[in-house]
């Protein structure tokens, strides 16, 4: 854990930052699989905070790696959220207009 001073709009704040990579290495052994297998289920998660602009898939739909799943608006930019591998859409966890947090599950896939 490191402590930093950050100046925002002329006001100074003290913040503590923890390295996620360091903690991940402590928890996982080098041989441990980091990607979930298909039979364990998986969720496509939001890479950032934003608002759902459109959902481009339906439950039961097969998608291939790189296919668009939904559009997420963040900081006035539209971000195309895509599948990282081939999946079947199991459940859609958000709706158009929802505000989502970073790392929030958006769609359950198998």
Digitized pLDDT (tens) for each residue of the chain, 110 residues in all:
677 777 777 877 777 776 665 444 444 444 433 343 343 468 999 999 999 999 999 999 999 999 999 999 998 899 999 999 999 999 999 999 999 999 999 999 99
Give dist(CA 30, CA 85) in Å, integer.
Answer: 23
Residue with structure tokens 């002329």?
10
Distances (CA, A) of 8 to 4, 11, 12, 14, 101: 13, 5, 6, 11, 22
- pTM score over 0.75: no
């Amino acid at each position: 854990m490191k402590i930093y001073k950050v100046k925002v709009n002329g006001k100074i704040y003290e913040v503590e930052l923890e390295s996620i990579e360091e903690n991940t290495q402590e928890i996982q052994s080098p041989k441990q699989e980091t990607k979930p297998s298909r039979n364990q289920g998986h969720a496509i998660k939001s890479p950032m905070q934003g608002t759902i602009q459109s959902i481009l898939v339906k439950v039961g739909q097969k998608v291939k790696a790189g296919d668009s799943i939904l559009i997420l608006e963040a900081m006035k930019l539209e971000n195309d959220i895509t599948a990282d591998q081939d999946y079947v859409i199991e459940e859609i966890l958000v709706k158009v207009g929802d505000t989502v947090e970073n790392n929030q599950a958006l769609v359950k896939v198998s």
